[in-house]
Each structure stands twice: as C-alpha cells, then as structure tokens.
C-alpha cells in the first residue's frame, strides 16, 4: 500500500508540472508587437517632434476671421502647427527683430522695407491689400460724411474737437493715422483725442460705446458689423487709405531656433494661386465683397 501511495503522489506531481508548462508564457524569439506598438499613433504636427511655426501678425488678420479660414488648411496639408501672435505691426516687426517669431504677416510698407534693409528679414512677398475707412457715429457731429479727403476729414474732427479714438499701439493702422494727422499739419491732443493702446476690434467697440470716430481697416470693420457694430463708414476711397499686406521670413541668424525652412514653406503656400483664390473669396458670402484683394506675384501673373 505504501508503494502505491508513493506512485500516486509522483503521478500527481508530474501532471501538475505539465499543466503549469501549458499555462505559463514561454520566451519567444519573435518580438511582442503588442508591447512595442502604441495603441494610438501620434498625428502629424503633434508630439515632441512636432513641426511648429510662430507667426507674428496684425490684429486685423485675426479680428477679420481670415486666419481662422486659412490656417487650418495649411496645418492639415503640411502637418505644421502654427502659433499665432496677433499684435500691432510695430510689435510684430519687433518680435521678428528680436528673433521671437519665424514669419511675419504685417501691413506697414515703409516699416517692412526698413526691416528688410536692416537685415532682420530674408524674404518679403506681397500677399494682399484692402483699404482703411474713417468710421463714426451715424449722427456724425463733425460733419465728415462724404468728405473725399482723409486729411480734410481729420481737420474737421480736430476743429470740432469731436472724440477720436486712436489705436496708439504702433500698429500699421496707427502709423497710417499718424501720417494723416501729419499731412493735415495737426498734432492731436486734448480730451477729444484718446490713445487707447488697443487692437482694432477693441477700438471699434470703444468708439461705438463713446460715439467717437476712428480709423479702421475695412476687413475688421465689416467683420464687426456681423457682431452688431453700428458705426458708419463716413469717409472712404481716398488713395492715401490704401492698405497693402506683406509676409516676411525672419533672418535665421536672429535665433538658432528660427524655423527658416518652415517659414519659407508657409510663404510659398500663402502666395500660391489656390490660397490667393481663397483670399479673393473671403467675405463674399457675408458682405458681397472680398475683405482682402489678392496681390501676390503669382496671382498677378495669372490675372494680368
């Protein structure tokens, strides 16, 4: 009986060993694909190796909604993420000069030319244009409605000491405003002239709230009317109110982190015919007119 019991115990031990071998994973020469492949693959333009471009631009391109229309297409087509810094043109150019932006989209041609002359940029291209308008309350206390000359309109505002709100932020719009005052031989001052230091959208809101006048790019003004802005366009069409936009790639010597190749890729995309056509259509559905007119060399070659 003792011998049989020992045999039974041995048999049980052998069976347990065999069962353990069947249920325990064995080492394999084939890599475990489940552990080496992530369940969610990183998308283009995301993660630690993402391509990123810093665009310093004006508040008008932001407030008008143009960037919201164009940039998602660029990111989708290229996998490049764009961080937008919307400030006045003067501040945007300063960001480029300090090497804190890769590419600029601005509208102050004299300042742009100076920026290039001083070696801060390596490439500049025409992109588009629109125009400035002088807007104010429907009641028009200064009586400028229908005035042909922007200079004459500013003179009337100063003579009547009607409230005028200035961007006061070294933007392209502020630069244009200052040139009109200079041509009118007026140094604006006093309670009637307020320097706000704000972007275009904010200044339009303030002008409406205070029943004052201001100078605005047409695109931002029209975009704000969709949000209920009641200010009226009182002066327009003066050739001095022309407002061209340019795109500039920043000199990579400014900062070793500047994405010069990506900036060049963005410029090529922005001035290309398909994107210029999108710019031409922007605003048509809502306002019956384009908010910006394409002006790149490629566009002009295709539309002589």
Q: pLDDT-derived band of residue 42, with 50, 70 and 90 as boundaries?
A: very low
The DSSP output letter for 48 is T
- The larger pLDDT score, comparing residue 2 to residue 126, is at 126
pLDDT for 6 equals 38
Q: Six-digit token pair at 8?
A: 């039974």
The DSSP output letter for 47 is S
What's the whole-number average pLDDT of the chain? 87
| Owner of token pair 């043109």 | 89
Neighbours of 210 (CB within 10 A): 12
DSSP class per residue in 64-111: TSHHHHHHHHHHHHH-EEEEEEEE-HHHHHHHHHTT--SEEEE--HHH
pLDDT for 127 equals 98
Phi, psi for 270 (deg, rounded to 5)? -65, -35
In angstroms, the CA 20 to CA 14 distance is 10
Q: pLDDT-derived band of residue 50, with 50, 70 and 90 as boundaries?
A: low
Q: Which whole number is the average pLDDT over 288-295?
A: 96
Q: Spell out the domains of the chain, with CATH numbers in brackets.
A: 51-129+244-302 (3.40.190.10), 131-241 (3.40.190.10)
In angstroms, the CA 138 to CA 232 distance is 6
């Amino acid at each position: 009986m003792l011998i049989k019991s020992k045999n039974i115990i041995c048999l049980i031990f052998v069976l347990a060993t065999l069962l353990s071998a069947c249920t325990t994973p064995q080492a394999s020469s084939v890599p475990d694909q489940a552990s080496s492949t992530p369940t969610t693959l990183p998308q283009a333009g995301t993660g630690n190796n993402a391509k990123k471009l810093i665009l310093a631009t004006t508040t008008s391109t932001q407030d008008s909604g143009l960037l919201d229309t164009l940039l998602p297409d660029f990111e989708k087509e290229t996998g490049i993420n764009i961080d937008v810094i919307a400030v006045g043109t003067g501040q945007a150019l300063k960001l480029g000069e300090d090497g804190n932006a890769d590419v600029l989209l601005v509208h102050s041609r004299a300042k742009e030319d100076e920026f290039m002359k001083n070696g801060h940029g390596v490439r500049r291209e025409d992109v588009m244009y629109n125009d400035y308008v002088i807007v104010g309350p429907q009641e028009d206390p200064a009586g400028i409605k229908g005035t042909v000359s922007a200079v004459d309109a500013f003179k009337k505002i100063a003579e009547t000491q009607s409230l005028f709100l200035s961007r006061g932020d070294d933007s392209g719009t502020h630069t244009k405003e200052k040139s009109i005052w200079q041509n009118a031989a007026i140094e604006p001052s006093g309670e009637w002239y307020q320097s706000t230091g704000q972007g275009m959208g904010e200044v339009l809101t303030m002008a409406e709230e205070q029943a004052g006048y201001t100078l605005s790019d047409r695109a931002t003004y029209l975009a704000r009317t969709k949000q209920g802005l009641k200010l009226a366009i009182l002066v327009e069409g003066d050739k001095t109110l022309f407002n061209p936009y340019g795109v500039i790639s920043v000199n990579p010597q400014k900062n070793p982190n500047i994405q010069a190749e990506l900036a060049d890729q963005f410029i090529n995309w922005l001035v290309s015919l398909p994107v210029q056509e999108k710019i031409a259509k922007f605003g048509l559905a809502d306002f019956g007119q384009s908010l910006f007119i394409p002006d790149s060399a490629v566009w002009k070659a295709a539309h002589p």
